[in-house]
Structure 1
């Protein structure tokens, strides 16, 4: 039965993506975490990608809820926040079907999200561990080169930046970036007053993620 559901979801994705081949949505979740954090981040990343890597993404990303069938309209979902995240059983099933049918989810920890989101990821894929990506992975070199792997954008706990992934059929379906805070680097310059070179690194890494999601 589950196989039939996955097949149906796959065809829904194909039909929707033919009209939304390069679209991104913000994932709204329950639990109290601020899913709406960094409001200028994704529009700025989209503008950067459209100007530099020939994407044609809508400059105003939509917001979709985890349990909604609307997520199947978007090949790329972005999720961020600082606090608690809770997925219901129905949301787990919906998001899992989306990911196994070809969708891509990027979760960027805006600081304080990690213990909650890793718990929910374990519910999504109880038999699959998050795997840290080495600096040699193609996501760090497909468009812009990051020979040391995920760049450090903002300091929080003084820990090194890490990129973790869940892969299915040799393709990343879920990417979790931690201790980097890419989203802060994508925000308007006036928000965090980051140096231009730091914002550029964040935007370039974001472009690499989008390149990977759209081409794999």
Structure 2
């Protein structure tokens, strides 16, 4: 159902990172603590679970921490504001967000996990096996923010360690797929650049220029047809969530970024 028009997102800029920066000990980005698996309560509500991974020597990506923690917090806030999905909070009322390695046993407590800049990722045999087990037992991975054919090839090389191509084909998602219509009608798949690229180029959106001109939503399904991996290539939804502090960027990209982001989480949590 349509709870309210998405224009609500443009009314108020909420910088939730300030809320997170006040939490406890330092040690993470923006002074955020590394919220590792021993801390959360796993109360059954939505918790943004982010995968920490090692970078390969041949890939194209800056690391797991890109857009962390503000994207994690802000998307959780929008889900609580715009949907009826239960969203977990800490005892202090802050939105729960968790960092996990693929080898952590708590991985299986997260029905939804996200990776950013996966074009640089490296999986060893154990990590690939755990990812496969997680996905085939009901988990859902969203891999976002990797640009150009080199990053795509590097990511697929690692993904195929877990999900061999003969059994788990990759397909493009057409706009009639239910993920584009869960709560908001997404009629065009958006290309969202990082704020630095957008501002530095005077408004360009393709971070690898001709090599990333077309954004793609792609998926891997299991034997029963259930989507287990969502891949958003040549676009950066994480920055659309993270950068609520810049009004010009927010006005340009937040509406379409959150429309698809909310849809993606709702799809993952209900399929």
Q: Do they fold alike, i.e. is TM over 0.5?
A: yes
Partner Cα separation in structure 2 for residue 82 and residue 120 of structure 1: 9
Task: Tell me which residue corresponds to 1:175.
Answer: 230
Give the drift of 1:157: 2.7
Partner Cα separation in structure 2 for residue 51 and residue 19 of structure 1: 19
Task: Tell me which residue corresponds to 1:101.
Answer: 137
SS of the equivalent of 2:144 reads: strand
Give the drift of 1:68: 1.6
- Unmatched 5+ residue regions in structure 1? 1-17
Partner Cα separation in structure 1 for residue 65 and residue 140 of structure 2: 19
Aligned residues: 199
Give the drift of 1:93: 0.7
Task: Tell me which residue corresponds to 1:162.
Answer: 216
Partner Cα separation in structure 2 for residue 21 and residue 72 of structure 1: 14
Task: Tell me which residue corresponds to 2:47.
Answer: 23
After TM superposition, list the pairs within 5 Å mapping 1:1-216 onto structure 2.
Answer: 19-31=43-55, 33-39=62-68, 40-58=70-88, 59-81=95-117, 83-111=119-147, 113-126=151-164, 127=166, 128-148=168-188, 150-154=189-193, 155=205, 156-158=207-209, 159-168=213-222, 169-190=224-245, 193-216=248-271
Partner Cα separation in structure 2 for residue 187 and residue 110 of structure 1: 16
Partner Cα separation in structure 2 for residue 141 and residue 121 of structure 1: 27
Task: Tell me which residue corresponds to 2:35.
Answer: none
Q: Which has the larger radius of gyration?
A: 2
CA displacement, residues 124-150 of structure 1 (integer Å, 9 cap, x when unaligned)? 1112221111111010111111123x2
Partner Cα separation in structure 1 for residue 147 and residue 171 of structure 2: 20
- Unmatched 5+ residue regions in structure 2? 1-41, 57-61, 89-94, 194-204
- TM-score scaled to structure 1, two decimals? 0.84
Contact 1:184 1:192 in 2 (8 A): no
Task: Tell me which residue corresponds to 1:12.
Answer: none
Partner Cα separation in structure 1 for residue 129 and residue 136 of structure 2: 10
Give the drift of 1:83: 5.0
Partner Cα separation in structure 2 for residue 181 and residue 115 of structure 1: 18
- TM-score scaled to structure 2, two decimals? 0.68
Partner Cα separation in structure 2 for residue 143 and residue 173 of structure 1: 20
CA RMSD of aligned residues (A): 2.1
Partner Cα separation in structure 2 for residue 167 and residue 82 of structure 1: 19
Give the drift of 1:214: 0.7
Contact 1:110 1:184 in 2 (8 A): no
